Amino acid sequence: MSPDMLFNLLSKALMQTLQMVFVAGIVGSIIGLPIGVFLATSGKGELFPAPKTNRVLGLIVNAARSTPFIILVVAIVPLTRLLTGTSIGTWAAIVPLTIATIPFFARLVESAIREVDKGLIEAARAMGATPFQIVFKVLLAEARPSMLMALTMTIVSLIGYSAMVGAVGGGGLGDLGIRFGYQRFNPEMMVLVVVVLIVLVQVVQSAGDGLARRFDKRNRKN
């Protein structure tokens, strides 16, 4: 394989992977954020007390999170076809990636919000803040560094998932590694794909760590 062909294949696969991660990450996070906030604030005696709904939603989130991703991809093929008109390709892969992102990010958001000092919530209540004001001006503001780390973890996980969908024709770096590396007995291609994935993860992790430190009030005081 010529260097030009290798570069073209790798560039195309990388762009497909970035497309899958970008779209699934944005859509999944937008949907997962309010779910995570509700899970963290709807228990007994909390801002929006709805313990029964909280338990039901928690069970659904747990069930979705515990489903192996490759099984999820196959199980929702009818939904994927309904939304995209096909079950293979980059846009088809975005559907299961998004669905997998929602419960994952929701639980991370819930954990981030529960880490906020309860004293801040009580102080806001004493000042007459409404539950929605407490959510937006206290909980989300204070949990911002943790949620940035949660988003980073989500994107890193999506990169791994995007490689897995290559096994079912999802395109991207995983598909490149399987078709041109494994199936054609080309270990150099496999190594190259792995290296690119590692670099991609490192870039995302470093960027996420930097943003989290920037918005961490404890670092501002030092």
**Cα gap 158→166, rounded to integer Å:** 13
In what helix (H) or strand (E) does residue 145 lie, and over which residues does it extend?
A: helix 144-164
Contact 79, 92 (CB under 8 A): no
Q: What sign has the CA pseudo-torsion 131, 40, 157, 141? A: positive
Please indicate, yes or no, if residue 222 is contained in any of the structural domains.
no
Res 166 pLDDT > 80: no
pLDDT-based confidence at residue 217 (cuts at 50, 70, 90): low
For the chain, what is the domain count? Answer: 1
Confidence band of 86 (pLDDT split at 50, 70, 90) = confident
- Across the range 156-162, mean pLDDT stands at 91
pLDDT 10s digits, 41-67: 998 888 899 999 999 999 999 999 898
Question: Residue 93 belongs to what domain range?
Answer: 3-216
| Residue 189 belongs to some domain of the structure | yes
Q: List Cα–Cα distances, 147 to 29, 81, 190, in angstroms.
A: 10, 33, 33
pTM for this entry: 0.89
The domain spanning residue 108 has which CATH number?
A: 1.10.3720.10
